[in-house]
Amino acid sequence: MRFPGEIIWLILWAVCVSEERCLKSEITIENGFFSESELAYPLNNKTQYQCKSGYVTPDGTTSGSVTCLENGWSPQPTCIRLENAKIRSNSQLFKVNDTLDYECLDGFESRDGRAGSIVCGNNGWSHTPECYEIECKVPEVEENLIADPRKDKYRVGDVLRFSCRSRLKRVGPDSVQCYHFGWSPNLPTCKEQTKQCAPPPQLLNGKVKETQKEIYEHNDLVEYVCNTRFLMKGFKKIQCVDGQWTDLPMCIEVESTCRDIPELHYGSVVESSAIPYRHGDSVEFNCMEDFTMIGHKSVTCINGRWTPLPQCIATDELEKCKYSLTRKEAQPLGKTIYDHNQKISYKCREGIKPKHSTCINGRWNPDLSCTEVSTQSCPPPPQIPNAQNMATTVNYQDGEKVSVVCQDNYIIQGAEEIVCQDGSWQSIPRCAEKLGCPQPPPIEHGTIKSSEFSEGIKETLKPKHYPHGSKLSYTCEDGFRISEKEEITCEVGKWSSLPLCVGLPCAPPEYVVPHSLPLHKSDTYQDGEEIVYKCEEGFGTNGSASIKCLGGKWSHPPECIKTDCFGLPDFGIAIPIGRKKDSYRSEEKVTYICPNNYQLDGPNFIQCIKSQWIGKPICKDISCENPPKVENAIILDEKPRYLPGETARYECTEPFELFGEVEVTCLDGYWSQPPQCAEPSGKCVSPPSIDNGDITSFPLAVYAPGSSVQYKCLDFYVLQGPRTVTCRNGKWSTPPKCLEPCRLSAEMMRRQNIRFRWTHDTKMHYSATGDVIEFDCLRGYRRKTPAHTFRAICQDGKLLYPECG
């Protein structure tokens, strides 16, 4: 029978797809979905997946990728629930017992502080990262101080403003702000009289900006500027507060310099000096003929960086500006289109004073607006824990910045400046202690090459503890390369992300395995890819059938060996079915049967596997010999051997009475339970019944003295007491009890604001007596009952739930 060419081609294509492609249907993404429409992907191709809203990949992004390899997709796509937190890991693949570190966003914290971790277990992640909103306690305010607004709860970023009752003066800030560490600065007080201040103190490497006075009144301000080459850290203004000046700023010499002057397109430097340029140095630019400068004509070196460049725009390409205010907003002007650098004055309908603006290359500066924007000043900047003393009572305007300097042995985490925005301070950094690090973990296929401390000291021995700032370099084994930066740094007690040693790809294998089928080879194979060999008919692989690319090299190739079996083994009286042959192919089976009154013990076949017979059919005698002896009884018509199903009958001698079945039956080589012959007195009726349990044997109407039975409980019930009861003097010994399980109530858990601590417990409905169930608070709730109550124990149907509020 011949097939059309199109069908043959389709069959070959289907085989090719099944061997060289990955299907999307082979992988599921919990809490995510594929973002591309293709159903199948060729080997080594990647596809993107997207996490649902509120979920992120292990590296903290909302999307990731997986690669089609010969052994399937890799890595397993993962989407983790994340609220009010960010991931602190660069890894995408996690093994069992690996941890994933996360950090709460500003204004939030976990139970153990700002950072936390979750553990990869057999049933998924141990729990969802949880970050709770930080709150500030309602401050205690003195009698004459008025606080606004008064609330029951204050969140991070909330501002509390103060005023004094009539005829009293405020001493201290007029407002404070709630931060992750509490309220700052300290609350003010109210006084009837305040003191004046003497002239402000001298500032090292700086000076007072304006002309000084001999006497300064309470709340007067003085502004400082630093000398050339010095940078101000702290508050540029100090204030007279009841006879005392607030803390001075610091003027720190800037050692960093600026090198090459940035290039200005269509412009040139007016005059330059030899590099490097120091802090505060400026360079002026000119534009080429027929070009107009937009922005400041000079750039300045500030703390090692140049300020932004201006632009040189072709004069004939400068854009015009449109007067966009309506008649309802402002009085109309003579025209609506204005050239570059043209100035206008306009008057709003609701305003008194005219406003001014200039057209700068198609944009008004400032923007045209008749909407009054009210900007709130910020409270005095906070005293950040472990930062240099920054005590002040001066308010700051929207957009103003303040530099933060940490104390010795502390390092700033976050921006070095805080910004006043919308009436509160934003981007509050932390001053973290410069903690050392333990010995870093090893990396697969790599070793530590050297260690270098931040001070530049080379260390040949591996210390057990590295100070903050230490650096370590890794090197990879032959056939592997560093995936990212080879260096790690000790930062505040933790090492930066470890590098990975990624295996180099392999060329197609050169060796030929005798008696193997031809391979479909690729040009290159990625690290970890495998090639599976298939042997010719009559041959099989000796050991693993695949080779693996690891570090640019292939593992040892397999061997194709002859796999036929010769002759049949002897299994006693077991009889093979079918015609006997001289040889049998690999995986061929031969079935055996047993003669009458014999039964197969084990499999009924043997199989040829790589030249060896696997399996051992044994014929077991299932007849029974002498029936069991019963004291004070005789066996009627006793025989030396009984076939399966045959019975033997007992009869008690006088004066004994028979208890149990009068006959025993031969059951495939063993006898059923024999009766007893005992005195009529002392017998027992049926054993006592128990709630939620029963005996394990078939109940009898009468039991002989000394008889015993065993009990068992229903599912989830726990047996308490002796499992076995005995008939003595006509009475049964005390039976056991079956203790009730606890029914886990979802309604009660919602009422108490709790959930199961571990994800694998969420499907539980019942818990047996003695089981421990661990609970946790729902997101946004805190514990109201002691910690030990969150490990509840089931006791005979009763369970005490913890509570969160």
Q: What integer is the mean pLDDT of 476-486?
A: 87
Phi, psi for 317 (deg, rounded to 5)? -105, 0
Domain boundary among 697, 714, 737: 737
* 156 and 227 part of one domain: no
Say which residue, 682 or 142, is predicted with more confidence: 142
Q: Do 498 and 444 meet the contact criterion of CB atoms below 8 Å apart?
A: no
Cα separation of 799 and 744, whole Å?
8
Name the phi and psi angles at 19, rounded to 5.
-95, -25
DSSP state of 447: E
In this predicted structure, the answer to whether residue 99 has a pLDDT above a threshold of 80 is no
Mean pLDDT lowest for which of 376-380, 505-509, 756-760? Answer: 756-760
**CATH code for the domain of 337:** 2.10.70
- What is the rounded average pLDDT of the residues 107-135? 73
Query: At which of 503, 527, 553 does a domain end?
Result: 503
Is there a contact between 381 and 425 (Cβ–Cβ < 8 Å)?
A: yes
CA–CA distance, 705 with 685 (Å, rounded to integer): 10
Per the prediction, the chain carries an average pLDDT of: 85
Shared domain check, 127 and 10: yes
- Give the residue-averaged pLDDT of 77-83: 78
Q: What pLDDT shows up at residue 204?
A: 95
Mean pLDDT of 533-545: 84
Query: What pLDDT sits at residue 224?
Result: 95
pLDDT tens, 387-423?
987 778 888 888 888 888 898 899 988 888 899 988 8
- Asked whether residue 37 is domain-assigned, the answer is yes
| Among 503, 530, 556, residue at a domain's last position | 503
For residue 236, which of 209, 254, 212, 211 has the smallest C-alpha distance?
Answer: 209
> Is residue 783 in a domain?
yes
Q: 535 in a domain, yes or no?
A: no
- Tell me the pLDDT tens digit for each residue of 295-315: 999 999 988 899 999 999 999
- Which pLDDT score, from 0 to 100, does residue 553 have? 92
Q: What was the pLDDT predicted at 759?
A: 63
The arrangement of strands across the sheet holding 63-69 comes to 32-34, 46-51, 63-69, 72-74
The strand ranges marked E within 563-701 are: 565-566, 575-576, 583-584, 589-593, 598-601, 605-609, 612-614, 618-621, 633-636, 647-652, 657-659, 663-667, 670-671, 676-678, 693-695
Query: What's the pLDDT score for residue 293?
Result: 95
Tokens of 571: 């299994």
pLDDT at 542 over 50: yes
Contacts 24+ apart (CB under 8 A), 357-363: 359/320, 359/321, 360/294, 361/294, 361/313, 361/318, 361/319, 362/318, 362/319, 362/320, 362/321, 363/321
d(C-alpha 424, C-alpha 415), whole Å: 16
- The whole domain housing 385 covers 135-193+376-433
Q: Pick the residue with more confidence: 804 or 610?
A: 804
Instruction: Please tell me whether residues 27 and 125 are part of one structural domain.
Output: yes
User: Are 247 and 215 found together in one domain?
Assistant: yes
Higher-pLDDT residue of 530, 122: 530
Residue 1 has pLDDT above 80, yes or no: no
Check residue 738 and report its DSSP letter: E
Task: Dump pLDDT digits (tens) for 426-479.
Answer: 888 889 889 899 888 888 899 988 654 433 434 444 557 899 989 999 999 999
Count how many domains the chain has.
9
Coil/strand/helix, residue 729: coil
Examine the domain organization and report whether 118 and 9 are in the same domain.
Answer: yes
How do beta strands 189-191 and 182-184 pair?
unpaired
Q: Which residue has the tokens 């309220």?
A: 183
pLDDT band (50, 70, 90) for residue 20: low
Give the rounded distance of the alpha carbon of 772 from its chain centre: 26
CB 314 within 8 A of CB 291: yes
Closest CA to 87 of 119, 53, 122, 60: 60
Percentage above 90 pLDDT, the chain: 35
Same domain, residue pair 732 and 679: yes
Decide if 180 is inside a domain.
yes
Specify whether 99 is located in the same domain as 152: no
CA distances from 54 to 31, 63, 79, 414, 623 (A): 9, 12, 9, 25, 70
- 108 with 13, same domain: the answer is yes
Is the pLDDT score of 132 beyond 90?
no
Q: What pLDDT is stored for residue 494 in this prediction?
A: 85
In a domain, 90, yes or no: yes
Query: Shortest CA distance to 580 belongs to which of 564, 593, 569?
Result: 569
- Report the pLDDT value the prediction gives residue 666, as an integer from 0 to 100: 93
Q: What residues contact residue 698 under an 8 Å CB cut-off, 6+ apart? A: none
Q: Supply angle C-alpha 412, 251, 408, rounded to 5.
A: 35
Cβ-proximal residues to 795 (8 Å cutoff; 6+ apart), any chain: 769, 770
* Coil vs helix vs strand at 772: strand
- Can you tell me the mean pLDDT for 224-249? 90
Look at residue 531 and tell me if it is in a domain.
no
pLDDT at 717 over 90: yes
pLDDT of residue 133: 82
Residue 14 and residue 128 in one domain? yes
Parallel, antiparallel, or unpaired for β 737-739 and 401-403?
A: unpaired
With a cut of 70, say whether residue 223 has pLDDT above it: yes
Kindly state whether residue 424 falls inside one of the protein's structural domains.
yes
- Which H/E stretch holds residue 13? helix 5-20
DSSP code of 140?
P
Between 194 and 58, the more confident residue is 194
* Average pLDDT of the residues in 96-123: 72
**C-beta contacts of 151-155 below 8 A and 24+ residues apart:** 154/178, 155/107
* Cα atoms in the 13 Å half-sphere on the side-chain side of 626: 4
Residues 93 and 72 both lie in one domain: yes
Q: What is the pLDDT of residues 337-394, one digit of tens each?
A: 999 999 999 999 887 789 999 999 999 999 999 887 777 889 998 989 999 877 788 8
Specify the pTM. Answer: 0.50
Report if residue 198 sits inside a domain.
no
DSSP 83-139: SSEEE----S---TT-EEEEEEPTTEEBTTBSEEEEEEETTEESS----EEPEEPPP
Q: Which helix (H) or strand (E) holds 7?
A: helix 5-20
Q: Tell me what the mean pLDDT of segment 165-188 comes to.
A: 91
CA 676 to chain centre: 67
Rounded to whole angstroms, how far apart are CA atoms 58 and 75?
11
Distance in angstroms (rounded) separating the CA atoms of residues 699 and 696: 9
Is 29 found in the same domain as 129?
yes
The enclosing domain of 464 has a CATH number of: 2.10.70.10
* C-alpha distances in Å from residue 785, one per residue of 87, 113, 137, 777, 788: 31, 20, 21, 11, 8
Q: Are residues 11 and 128 in the same domain?
A: yes
Residue 185: cis peptide before it, omega within 30 degrees of 0: yes
Q: How many Å apart are CA 482 and CA 462, to the nearest integer?
A: 21
Our CA dihedral for 257, 262, 267, 272, rounded to 10 degrees, sits at 30
